[in-house]
Amino acid sequence: MPDSLPSDSVGLVSPQTIRFDTPIELACGQTLDSYDLVVETYGTLNPDASNAVLICHALSGHHHAAGYHSMEDKKPGWWDSCIGPGKPIDTNRFFVVSLNNLGGCHGSTGPNSTNPATGKPYGPDFPVITVADWVKSQAYLADHLGIEQWAAVVGGSLGGMQALQWSLDYPERLRHSVVIASTPRLSAQNIAFNEVARQAITSDREFHDGRYYDFGAVPRRGLMLARMVGHITYLSDASMGEKFGRELREEAYKFGFDAEFQVESYLRYQGERFSESFDANTYLLMTRALDYFDPAYAAGGDLAKALAPASCEYLVLSFSTDWRFSPERSEEMVNAMISARKKVSYAEIDAPWGHDAFLIPTPRYTDIFTAYMDRVAREVGA
């Protein structure tokens, strides 16, 4: 808990729930007649509504991107390092909108919400949501907030995919798309890791085909394993090595299979913590959205062709030790943007933390992000 809030924090914030009663048609063919989105905003929307920035979250993210909910909070929002007064996404200049995506488990309508048709939680009946569906729901959110055009749509990882999708689906509705530590499509290896995670969840005896809510059960073990395998892909060999090495919890080997190495106990702890706060069905849904994302697919695999409608400027950033979505994946995207004659800037940032580097403020990352967003702010008169 902070004794007093840091001066570069957005301070105490509270989420709001926005109800949407206009049906949303989803890529899978189903329609949700009504749904809630939980949203936090930071900063002030200027009179011509030109200074709005949308933050798109990654797999396990949510609407609470910056600031604190109470003075008792141990940690600020998940991207507090980049959002706040004087930070890269400067809340003195921008009006920042951060939401929990549809299908999420932090208040927006998702598998653990009540299905009006049955009066019970949706569970496995909740439709599989795609990145394009999220973007559509975010566009409805923009309508609701009176934002015709975002100054920028920004996201890391799965969030970066949404920033990219925005530029294709609503080209006139954003000036800049900031795609960080992301990829234009998952590789077979990426999908394989997701499948292991899903298998861990669905094979948990407490999963009950996704209707665990009806049984008062939680597939905690499966969710924990899913998170453990996912977590490994977010770190680099070097950062794990530096953090844990081969360090043991006690002095000698015990010739058993309990968590003896520090890295084992760390992963178990992370997995357990996660399994207490995240919904298993949402995890399945999010990983599937990742798998399906492939904007080039409709253009016969030609990403440059798929990018044709885009009119925004792009900033693409990758991190040197990210092996989940490596710099090569970002470069693939950048090259397609170049071929399609889009405006794009790209940098590969040297950072030891693997995929997680997009959440950690290294000097070069902060400098570039600040320089770019400062220019965006000037462009929209913020």
Partner 1 sequence: MRPDLDIIQQWVQPGHHVLDLGCGNGTLLDFLQRERGATGFGLEINPDHITTCMAKGVSVIEQNLDTQGLDNFDDGMFDVVLMTQALQAVRRPDKVIEEMLRVGREGIVTFPNFAHWRLRWGLALSGRMPESDALPYKWYNTPNIRLCTFKDFEALCRQKGIRIKSRRVVDGQHQNSWLARLWPNLLGEIAIYRITRENP
Distance CA 109, CA 121 (A): 10
Is-catalytic flag, 157? yes
Active-site residue (options: 90, 322, 330, 356): 322
The verdict on whether 231 is a catalytic residue reads no
Pairing outcome for strands 95-100 and 35-42: antiparallel
Contact between 243 and partner 1 by CB under 8 A: the answer reads no
Q: Is residue 276 close enough to count as binding partner 1 by CB under 8 A?
A: no
Residue (of 212, 224, 223, 233) closest to 269 by Cα position: 224
Q: Which two tokens stand for residue 94?
A: 């921008």
Q: Which region among 52-60, 142-150, 246-254, 361-369 touches partner 1 (by CB under 8 A)?
A: 361-369
Total Cβ atoms within 10 A of residue 223: 28
Residue pair 182/326 in contact by the 8 Å Cβ criterion: no
Q: Does 334 bind partner 1 (CB under 8 A)?
A: yes
CB of 378 to partner 1, least distance (A): 9
Write out the binding residues for partner 1, residues 335-354 only, by CB under 8 A.
335, 338-339, 341, 343-348
Q: Quote the CA–CA distance of 139 and 172 in Å, as a whole number.
A: 12
Report the candidate in 382, 315, 381 with the shortest Cα–Cα distance to residue 345: 315
Tell me whether residue 247 or residue 367 sits nearer to partner 1 (CB atom). Answer: 367
Q: Does 331 bind partner 1 (CB under 8 A)?
A: yes
Q: Is 73 in the site for partner 1 (CB under 8 A)?
A: no
Report the alpha-carbon distance of residue 282 to residue 8 in Å, rounded. 33
**Is there binding between residue 375 and partner 1 (CB under 8 A)?**
yes
Query: Whose structure tokens read 């900063």?
Result: 43
Minimum CB separation of residue 57 from partner 1 in Å reads: 24
Query: Which one of 54-62, 244-252, 295-303, 330-338 is the stretch in contact with partner 1 (CB under 8 A)?
Result: 330-338
Q: Measured between alpha carbons, how far is 324 from 338 in angstroms, rounded to an integer? A: 24
**How far is residue 294's CA from residue 282's CA, in Å, rounded to a whole number?**
20
Active-site residue 291, yes or no? Answer: no
Binding of residue 362 to partner 1 (CB under 8 A)? no
Rule CB under 8 A: choose which of 95, 212, 325, 372 binds partner 1.
Answer: 372
- Among 243, 219, 220, smallest CA distance to 232 is for 243
Question: Residues 6 or more apart from 169 whose CB is under 8 A from it?
Answer: 132, 135, 136, 139
One-letter identity of residue 186: L
Number of residues that bind partner 1 (CB under 8 A): 22
**Shortest separation between residue 56's beta carbon and partner 1, angstroms:** 21
Min CB(233)–partner 1 separation in Å:
24
Site string for partner 1, 291-320 (x = CB under 8 A): ----------------------x-x-----
Supply the minimum distance, in Å, between the C-beta of residue 345 and partner 1: 5
What is the sign, positive or negative, of the torsion defined by CA atoms of 344, 349, 355, 356?
A: negative
CA atoms lying within 13 Å on the CB side of residue 154: 25
Catalytic residue among 60, 98, 137, 157: 157
Q: Does 379 bind partner 1 (CB under 8 A)?
A: yes
| Footprint on this chain of partner 1 (rule: CB under 8 A) | 313, 315, 331, 334-335, 338-339, 341, 343-348, 364, 367-368, 371-372, 374-375, 379
User: Which residue numbers are catalytic?
Assistant: 157, 322, 355
